[in-house]
Amino acid sequence: MIRAVETDVAATDADSSVAVKTIRVRVLRQDAPGRESYWERHDVPYEPNMNIISVLQKIAAKATSADGRAVPPVAWDCSCLEEVCGSCTMLVNGRTRMACSALVDKLLVENADEIVIEPMTKFPVVRDLVVDRRRLFRSLERVKAWVPVDGSYDQGPGPRISPKEQEDAYPLSTCISCGCCLEACPQFTKIEVIRRDDESQEEFDARRKAAFDKGFLGAHAISQAMLFNAHPTGGMIADERLKAVTSQGGIQMCGNAQNCVAVCPKQIPLTRSIARAGRAATLWAIKRLFDR
Amino acid sequence: MSTNPASGPESIDSFFSRHQFLIYRLFSLSGLIPVGAFLVVHLLTNASVLFGPESFQSRVDLIHSLQPILPFVEWAFIFLPMLFHASVGFAIIAGGLPNVGSYPYVGNVRYTLQRATGMIAFAFILWHVWQLHSLGKSFGGGAFKPEQATSTAATAIQSAPVAILYAIGVLSAVFHFANGLWTLGITWGIWTSPAAMRRANWVSIVVGVALAAAGLGGLAGMLTTDVDEAERIESKLHPKNDAAAQDGR
Amino acid sequence: MSQPRVLVIGGGLAGLSATMRLAELGIGVDLVSLVPVKRSHSVCAQGGINSVNSLTRQQGDSEWKHFDDTVYGGDFLQHQPPVKEMAEWGPRIIDLMDRLGVPFNRTPEGFRDQRRFGGTLYKRTAFAGATTGQQLLYALDEQVRRYEVEGKVKKWEFWDFLEPVLDESGRCRGAICQDLVTMQFRAFPADAVILASGGCGLLYGRSTMSMVCTGSAVSRAYQSGAAYGNGEFIQVHPTAIPGADKLRLMSESARGEGGRVWVPRIPQDSRDPRQIPEAERCYFLEERYPKYGNLVPRDIATREIFDICTNEGLSVEKDRLCVYLDLTHLSRETLDRKLGGILEIYEKFQGVDPRSVPMKIFPAVHYSMGGLWVDYERSGSGGMVEGSPRNHQTTIPGLYAIGECDYQYHGANRLGANSLLSCIFSGLFVAPSVISSFDLARGWGGGGHSGQVFERATGRQEERHESFLSRRGGRENPYSLHGELGDIMTRAATVVRRNDQLRKAYDDVCRLEERWRECSLSDTGNWTNQNVVFTKSLGDMFPIAKVILKGALLRDECRGAHYKPEFAMPGIAATSPDEQRREAEAWCDRFERNTAKWLKSSIAKVGPDGHPEISYEDVDSSLIPPRPRLYGLVGAELIEEVWKERQAARTPASAEAAGRQPMTVGAG
């Protein structure tokens, strides 16, 4: 058996003192939406300090599978490579994470035999590891995740904010829209809308949007709603956000599995946001019951 | 916003969609009140058998003193809420995709167990009602006689397979209730911070352990009951029992 | 098209702020981006955004001083009016971002907290944790999303800009773009096109930049005739974490918050850095620059780190060049609060906790001061005329450039925390200019432009695309070629530049470009084909690489980030006062000669043979006369004294210079 890491792995295994050259990678590929997915094996030369991005870069450059066939390079999304743009979410060894911060040495300690890479399962596959996450951004529209300012002309500084409020808000504001929380959520299920032949792009967009709007918002959007409701100016439309958060696909869909917070690469206190949204929704519903 | 007076499955679907939040909140509430509350009362009542058939019988008598409105109370506060809780619960289960294999975190295990125990508890309750409640009589069950509470209940349970199924059913219901108590606190926003959630978790563990003890205690009490002895005591408390039983009511 | 419509290429800070302002002014915007705009490279900016504020104002700071620091930091290679305008907008921009909900760090009283950044003596930098760029970008992304919901903005994410479409008169009338998913082409007619496509770090293979920073959009504009200014000025960030796929930035704020840079005095001391006593540590920045200490401007920090490793052989490691950046003397609590985000990056990618172990860092390519040449109209007060259609317009009328992809604000070297400001400022400022250009566009009119011109351009792009897909039998692999290009550029055109190396690098790049024509694709399909997209953008890297190399080769001086040891001006070596005085005089003479010869922007235009043709443009330095940058030079005080005497003697002359008008391209 080939061993990839000389240090940790080999140290525990007396008879494999050979330093190792090859990482075995298995990738779940899919040529286009609606096509069958298939597994493909790749051998990648080992280097210290690699991450999954550099593994995929080597696969792309080589464009030859482990059995020696010339294959098109695996497609994947990435940009910043420092876990702040949110592009490169995928399943590595079965778990959702950012490919850039998935370090090969650590993965090989988990499983020295191979690394398994798959696309996210809760979003439609575009190609190979590229998925269509526009539903995630649609959720931000649903909860009006913005401060409703009058405009961008000079009106003086923003409201005074205490350090405590800032420290509360800041972590929520570091959400990179990667979708890990949605991928791991057992309550968040895939919505894939296929364009009909007789449908214009606009009709298709509208139909897809309507389908998205019935689905679960997800932890990220609920957390953003709480972020903006806590802001002095953002809170001026708190009711509108709570309306969105309590409409179909809203916070009630949460099943409290709390996977979101466990897989969030930015360690955002998502369950706290969800519970706060729950409280706000409770109070808002009661208020509405008696106020209207 | 005005609603269209449409009919058919689409309007039902749209009714549920429009009121999804309300329905889910009522679902959550119904798990505590009245269904959960009933579970607590029921298990504590059962546990009283540990203090002897008299003790149990007197509590059953107290409940049955509600006759003739008892059926109404049962339907309004127990059966219907339970059916509501169960049907929404099944819809929720059908809409989820448990993934505890990929994400074996404690919270996720509890999420999965909550659904599993809900289904087990519901199946158990159906069987339990058929077996003991008077509703089951038309279907060959309904063995429980309120005037002979301990003896009829004990007779029904005193076989190993039945006892094991009861233990599973009771523990499922207790887990479902105790864990549900914790998630209810999150759902309604009673505990919001991770620290508060941890504290609340301890509370739900204590509640769960206590209820499990009561439930298993009641079960053990039934299993160790001397049925003949119990019947003697019951006939002393309710002298007309024999005659009533022979009538077949 | 009765309703005016603007096409914005790129959704980073600059593109989003332009989009927001345009939408607010009632203009429909098509926003094209390689990635969902929330994932743009601006998210990587960590440290902060500069502006004068009420606190620094009371310590003697002013917009003028911010302007002066920027110009001085940039070694005077900027037209001064746009920089002055930007510095004046600074406070308003911070206020705006504050209103948009950016979670800036706060003082106990609830005001925005400020930190000090390199190249200034004031605490001028507002920051939001260690992710200021991300926070600013999100605030703008949110506003643009709001306009998108209202139907004023249409986003085209995962789309690639292929070429600007020019009419017969040479005016930009829109662009051809390609859907990176379906690979379909689409013509975008527009009343103006704004390029906000960011930097070109991928030219250097690995850099601190994101994988989308290929510079291809800018290159395509350049190849269509737009001029490119100051290409040779590439900022190398002093502190980055060396990595296999990317060099991750360690923000200047680590030094701003008190981080100290050092190496062991014993070369490659194998002891745990924490066990090395103070006396055996060389805090070389503090020793050489007592006034600024670890916060010297970036070019100087970079060169010193480079120097201590390569020339003095004091690199911490033998096989890999690096120095220590030490934060371990600061409390964990402070570090987590002020630098949490960036320290997590280090921990995440290196597996070491920088709160307890000094970090290992080395310089990396970080920012391009150069970019598309853009115009401006000088106002009477020495700023820019707001709403002038000339502002930020490239040499192609109707084609505008803002943000990192223009050359306007940072001269020869960018000050830390000024890029976020220049991006937002240019985005906001360009909007009214673009709107006033609509009238000109109509004036030049004739409806003839739309149909055929777009059809022809689309056809050209489709044909080009097909020719890539149908290539057979080429031997070259685009990814390996990219690696080679990166090596060439990193060796020749980063910290230290030598003419022989630059000449050779230029030839090597030309050869690489020839080999690129032999690239064969491993993916010939027509669905989400990243292979062909990469190959195309690789091809577009060569023209810009040549601009950088040729510009660097021709510029025989040291200025900002451009450093040629051959032309360095050493400090005073003499010991006797008279000798010293004479050397200082000679130094100043040489400085003046150099300024007269080289205080010019290099302007590259693509020649008929594909090679860049470089001309020089005088710099409008009428507001602040150029003065020597003397950070850490031996005898700096004396040189400064001599310099001041000369300036004093020449006051009337400089007043005259203040009335001079800005020059246009080629006028030098």
What would the 3-class secondary structure string for B124-189 be? HHHHHHHHHCHHHHHHCCCCCCHHHHHHHHHHHHCCHHHHHHHHHHHHHHHHHHHHHHHHHHHHCC
Tallying the residues shown for chain C, one arrives at 668
Residue A20 confidence (pLDDT) above 80: no
Alpha-carbon distance A273 to nearest alpha carbon in chain B (angstroms): 8
The label of the residue with tokens 């210079």 reads C657
Q: What angle do CA A161, A164, A166 make, to 5 degrees?
A: 55
Residues of C involved in catalysis:
298
Q: Which residues of chain C have pLDDT under 70?
A: 1-2, 443-450, 473, 651-668
C259, two tokens: 């981080």
- Determine whether the interchain pair A272/B102 forms a contact, defined as Cβ–Cβ distance below 8 Å: no
B237 touches chain A (CB under 8 A): no
Alpha-carbon distance C155 to nearest alpha carbon in chain A (angstroms): 11
Question: What pLDDT does residue A19 have?
Answer: 54
Strand partners, C229: C371, C603
A130 touches chain B (CB under 8 A): no
Determine what percent of chain A falls in helix, strand and coil, rounding each to the nearest 5: 40, 15, 45
Burial of B58 (0-12, 13-18, 19+ CB in 10 A): middle
Question: What pLDDT does residue C1 have?
Answer: 47
The label of the residue with tokens 């500069």 reads C50
Chains A, B: CB pairs < 8 Å: 106
State the Cα–Cα distance between residues A283 and C400, nearest whole angstrom.
51
**Among the ranges given (A12-26, A262-276, C30-44, C257-271), the one the predictor scored with the smallest mean pLDDT:** A12-26
Name the residue in chain C with its Cα closest to that of A63: C522
- Choose among B92, B102, B189: nearest Cβ to A276: B189
Handedness of CA C189, C190, C193, C196 (dihedral sign): negative
The CATH homologous superfamily for domain C5-237+367-456 is: FAD/NAD(P)-binding domain (3.50.50.60)
- Determine whether the interchain pair C530/A154 forms a contact, defined as Cβ–Cβ distance below 8 Å: no
Q: Which residues of chain B have pLDDT under 50?
A: 1-6, 243-249
Task: CATH 1.20.58.100 in chain C: give the residue spans.
Answer: 469-554
Question: What pLDDT does residue A13 have?
Answer: 39
- Determine whether the interchain pair C43/A148 forms a contact, defined as Cβ–Cβ distance below 8 Å: no
Name the residue in chain A with its Cα closest to that of B89: A255
Cβ-Cβ contacts under 8 Å, A51 against chain C = 244-245, 349
* ipTM, two decimals: 0.94
Can you tell me whether residue A28 is helix, strand or coil? Answer: strand
**Among the ranges given (A30-44, A238-252, C100-114, C117-131), the one the predictor scored with the smallest mean pLDDT:** C117-131
Alpha-carbon distance A2 to nearest alpha carbon in chain C (angstroms): 23
Alpha-carbon distance B86 to nearest alpha carbon in chain A (angstroms): 15
The label of the residue with tokens 């429009």 reads B18
C146 touches chain A (CB under 8 A): yes
Consecutive H or E run containing A238:
helix A238-245
- Determine whether the interchain pair C107/A163 forms a contact, defined as Cβ–Cβ distance below 8 Å: yes
Is it true that the peptide bond before B68 is cis, omega within 30 degrees of 0? yes
Cβ-Cβ contacts under 8 Å, B19 against chain A = none
C242 vs A36: which has the higher pLDDT: A36
Handedness of CA C199, C205, C206, C212 (dihedral sign): positive
**Nearest to B179, CA basis, from B226, B239, B117:** B117
State the Cα–Cα distance between residues C645 and C656, nearest whole angstrom.
19
B99 touches chain A (CB under 8 A): yes
Indicate the pairing of strand C260-264 with strand C281-282.
antiparallel
- B78-86: list long-range contacts, CB under 8 Å, 24+ apart: B78/B34, B78/B35, B78/B38, B81/B30, B81/B34, B81/B35, B82/B30, B82/B35, B82/B125, B84/B26, B84/B27, B84/B30, B85/B27, B85/B30, B85/B31, B85/B35, B86/B118, B86/B122
Q: How many other CB atoms sit within 10 Å of the CB of residue B91?
A: 13
Number of H helices, E strands in chain A: 11, 7
Name the residue in chain A with its Cα closest to that of B180: A256
**Nearest to C133, CA basis, from C422, C420, C402:** C420
Residue A108 confidence (pLDDT) above 50: yes
Alpha-carbon distance A153 to nearest alpha carbon in chain B (angstroms): 36
Q: Which domains does chain B have, with CATH numbers?
A: 24-247 (1.20.1300.10)
- What is the residue extent of each domain of chain A? 8-127, 133-291
State the Cα–Cα distance between residues C306 and C240, nearest whole angstrom.
12
Surface of C (267-296) touching A: CB under 8 A? none
- Determine whether the interchain pair A234/C35 forms a contact, defined as Cβ–Cβ distance below 8 Å: no
Tallying the residues shown for chain B, one arrives at 249
C196-205 burial: b if 16+ Cβ within 10 Å, else e: bbbbbbbbbb
- Choose among A262, A279, A280: nearest Cβ to B103: A262
Q: Residue B196 corresponds to which amino acid? A: A
- Determine whether the interchain pair A257/B97 forms a contact, defined as Cβ–Cβ distance below 8 Å: no
- Determine whether the interchain pair A275/B92 forms a contact, defined as Cβ–Cβ distance below 8 Å: no
Mutation for A interface: C349, C366, C386, C477, most A CBs within 10 A: C349
List helix spans (H) across A175-218.
180-184, 201-214
Mutation for C interface: A5, A8, A50, A81, most C CBs within 10 A: A81
C59, two tokens: 């310590």
Mutation for C interface: A82, A83, A212, most C CBs within 10 A: A82
State the Cα–Cα distance between residues C150 and C148, nearest whole angstrom.
5
- Determine whether the interchain pair A149/C341 forms a contact, defined as Cβ–Cβ distance below 8 Å: no
Q: Which residues contact A15 (CB under 8 A, 6 or more apart)?
A: none
State the Cα–Cα distance between residues B180 and C587, nearest whole angstrom.
81
Alpha-carbon distance A290 to nearest alpha carbon in chain C (angstroms): 32
Question: What pLDDT does residue C47 have?
Answer: 80
Question: What pLDDT does residue C352 have?
Answer: 86
Do A59 and A23 contact (CB within 8 A), yes or no? no
Do C498 and C474 contact (CB within 8 A), yes or no? no
Consecutive H or E run containing C345:
helix C332-350
Mutation for A interface: C482, C530, C531, most A CBs within 10 A: C530
State the Cα–Cα distance between residues C402 and C15, nearest whole angstrom.
8
Do C222 and C407 contact (CB within 8 A), yes or no? no
- Determine whether the interchain pair A152/C21 forms a contact, defined as Cβ–Cβ distance below 8 Å: yes
Q: How many other CB atoms sit within 10 Å of the CB of residue A91?
A: 20
Task: CATH 3.90.700.10 in chain C: give the residue spans.
Answer: 238-361
State the Cα–Cα distance between residues A143 and A138, nearest whole angstrom.
9
Q: What angle do CA A231, A234, A240 make, to 5 degrees?
A: 130
Q: Residue A96 corresponds to which amino acid? A: T
E runs forming strands in A71-146: 89-92, 95-98, 115-118, 125-127, 130-131
A neighbours by CB contacts (3+ pairs under 8 Å): B, C
B neighbours by CB contacts (3+ pairs under 8 Å): A
**Nearest to C427, CA basis, from C10, C3, C59, C2:** C10
- Determine whether the interchain pair B99/A259 forms a contact, defined as Cβ–Cβ distance below 8 Å: yes
State the Cα–Cα distance between residues B48 and B218, nearest whole angstrom.
7
- A277-280: list long-range contacts, CB under 8 Å, 24+ apart: A277/A222, A277/A225, A277/A226, A277/A245, A277/A251, A277/B189, A278/A251, A278/A254, A278/B186, A278/B187, A278/B188, A278/B189, A278/B192, A279/B188, A279/B189, A279/B190, A279/B192, A280/A226, A280/A229, A280/A238, A280/A242, A280/A245, A280/B189
The structural architecture, per CATH, of the domain C469-554 is Up-down Bundle (1.20)
A225 touches chain B (CB under 8 A): no
Q: Output the CATH code of domain A8-127.
A: 3.10.20.30
**Nearest to C361, CA basis, from C399, C317, C395:** C317
Half-sphere exposure of C311 (CA within 13 A, CB side): 8
Q: Tell me B50's DSSP state.
A: G
Question: What pLDDT does residue C450 have?
Answer: 66
CATH fold group of domain A133-291: Fumarate Reductase Iron-sulfur Protein; Chain B, domain 2 (1.10.1060)
Phi, psi angle pair for B134, to nearest 5°: -60, -20
Do C261 and C326 contact (CB within 8 A), yes or no? yes
Mean pLDDT score of chain C:
92
Can you tell me whether residue B213 is helix, strand or coil? Answer: helix
Indicate the pairing of strand A89-92 with strand A95-98.
antiparallel
Cα-based distances in Å from C233 to C489, C561, C601: 13, 6, 10
- Choose among A85, A154, A166: nearest Cβ to C103: A166
- Determine whether the interchain pair A275/B197 forms a contact, defined as Cβ–Cβ distance below 8 Å: yes
Do B103 and B112 contact (CB within 8 A), yes or no? no
Of the candidate CATH numbers 3.90.700.10, 3.90.226.30, 3.40.50.1110, 3.20.20.140, the domain formed by C238-361 belongs to: 3.90.700.10
